Amino acid sequence: MKQISAIIEQLDTTLAGEWPDTAGIRQFSYSLQKQPDTGLLEWLSAQPCYPKFYWQQRDGNEEAAVCGDAYAFGDTAQAQAFIRQHADVPDLHIWGLNAFNGADNSAFAANALFLPRIELCRQGKRYWLRCTLFSSHSLREEARRTRLFLRSLVDSRALPPIASRVLQHQHLPAQPQWNQLITRALNCIEEQQFDKVVLARKTTLTLSQPLNACAFLAASRAVNHHCYHFMLAFTPQQAFLGSSPERLFLRSHDELYTEALAGTVANDPDDDKAQDLGDWLLNDGKNQRENLLVVDDICQRLQGGAQSLDIMPAEILRLRKVQHLRRSIHGELTESDDAGCLQRLQPTAAVAGLPRQAAREFIAEYEPFDREWYAGSAGYISAEQTEFTVALRSAAVKGHHLELYAGAGIVAGSDAAQEWQEIENKAAGLRTLLEEHYTPAVQAG
């Protein structure tokens, strides 16, 4: 990490110069000459500054480790307005999470979006470090604060092994309550209150020792391929992370890429068996319905905001524990408006239901926990390009506890036991990373 220390020294010299005692924004960007000695997640893990955010795009080509907040935003509209106001600083990126309920739920933060002080980024084999200063009253003061911040940065080190063992688990709802919930949802579907509702479970694991969020995410990234990997660490003990296969949307200039990812079957390590399961999925009526309702929802939601929508044929996405039906969707935006895209697309019928409002009301009334960040979105906003993943296959790290989330789309024809198995398989993507380290107590006698 010599390169990084050298860049930081150079930055420090720049910041030590004369700065105006007025409002302003400045950004400094430095290319790294070669690949750093350790990964970005290792670097981020070592830093003692919060918030920190990590992101890896699902094709593996884009990665970012960012920390410290030069500015925090109350909502995406505010973040977007900030980027537009500072169009002369073309590389501003605002990173973070949007909660499932957005501004509708006053009990929980609507989002955690911030403009970082430091960003270490990779695109393909190209690496760079960016430092941003922003002050609404004094850049001089901000330069001084940023220098202190830079001094707190430390060298990267190897991630610790995952030593946390699972002592206990608790499902909310437990299976009998899940069965009741599904019956209730199926009744509403029969009464035509809605066509689909996505119901979820929170599993709280009690651990033998607090989990290192970066090490846990690295373990997930090593095995859960074709996924976005994201993490927001709020404090040393509190983080939200996940490895999600689902794109909420990618906006590149005026092009919009989204998808209907819904309909699930188990995966199998054996290629032939996995293929048979995938073929079954492609031809199963209930799963096709689940997926097509998401296509309908997305098309309705994009009306007036995007034109010439292209919907690709269904394909199978094979993951480590499950396989999904996916239809990719592409359109031209009538205006490049990220806050608008979020408003339209989050939450889609893949994680809420259809019609959206009726499904959300059912979730708010009957799901026995607050989703908080689960099924919201994680990603970034910038002038040129914006991308969010749906925050699925995710977990909240809270000291000695890990809360794992998983849900399933309920439509006519859903069976409670099969849907329970489906959420078990989805949760297994993260859960098995711990169980591999689990040594059951030896029974006496």
> Which of ligand ISJ, Mg ion, none sits in contact with 239, Cβ below 5 to 8 A by type?
none
CB of 293 to Mg ion, least distance (A): 11
**Residues recorded for the chain:** 445
Q: Who's near 189: CB < 8 A, 6+ residues apart?
A: 195, 196, 197, 410, 411, 412
CB of 185 to Mg ion, least distance (A): 13
> Which of ligand ISJ, Mg ion, none sits in contact with 351, Cβ below 5 to 8 A by type?
ligand ISJ
> Which of Mg ion, ligand ISJ, none sits in contact with 211, Cβ below 5 to 8 A by type?
none
> Which of Mg ion, ligand ISJ, none sits in contact with 324, Cβ below 5 to 8 A by type?
ligand ISJ
Buried residues in 26-56 as b, exposed as e (16+ CB within 10 A): bbeebebeeebebbbbbbbbbbebbbbbbbb
For 147, half-sphere exposure in the C-beta direction (CA atoms, 13 angstrom radius) is 14
End-to-end CA distance of the chain: 53
Pick the binder of Mg ion from 51, 331, 409, 429 (CB under 5 A): 409
| Footprint (CB under 5 A) of Mg ion, residues 228-267 | 264
Distance CA 252, CA 377 (A): 18
Q: Who's near 97: CB < 8 A, 6+ residues apart?
A: 111, 112, 113, 232, 240, 373, 376, 377, 378, 391
CB of 244 to ligand ISJ, least distance (A): 8
Buried residues in 137-167 as b, exposed as e (16+ CB within 10 A): ebbeebbebbeebbeebeebeebeebebbee
Q: How many residues bind Mg ion (CB under 5 A)?
A: 3
Q: Which is nearer to Mg ion, 241 or 408 (CB)?
A: 408
CB of 227 to ligand ISJ, least distance (A): 11
What tokens appear for 172 in the block?
């909310």
Q: Which is nearer to Mg ion, 76 or 323 (CB)?
A: 323
Residue 57 contacts residue 387 (beta carbons within 8 Å): yes
Pick the binder of Mg ion from 153, 215, 329, 408 (CB under 5 A): 408
Among residues 256, 205, 247, 255, the alpha carbon closest in space to that of 226 is found at: 247
Binding site for ligand ISJ (CB under 6 A): 198, 200, 246, 261-264, 290, 324, 350-351, 392-393, 406-409, 426
CB of 228 to ligand ISJ, least distance (A): 13
Q: Which is nearer to Mg ion, 25 or 277 (CB)?
A: 277
Q: Who's near 377: CB < 8 A, 6+ residues apart?
A: 97, 98, 248, 342, 346, 388, 389, 390, 391
> Tokens 């979105």 identify what position?
377
> Which of ligand ISJ, Mg ion, none sits in contact with 407, Cβ below 5 to 8 A by type?
ligand ISJ
The answer to whether 353 contacts Mg ion (rule: CB under 5 A) is no
Torsion angles phi and psi, residue 16, rounded to 5: -75, -10
Q: Which is nearer to ligand ISJ, 55 or 100 (CB)?
A: 100
The answer to whether 200 contacts Mg ion (rule: CB under 5 A) is no
Q: Which is nearer to Mg ion, 130 or 318 (CB)?
A: 318
**Could you give the residue numbers annotated as active site?**
196, 246
Q: Which is nearer to Mg ion, 219 or 293 (CB)?
A: 293
List of residues contacting Mg ion (CB under 5 A): 264, 408-409
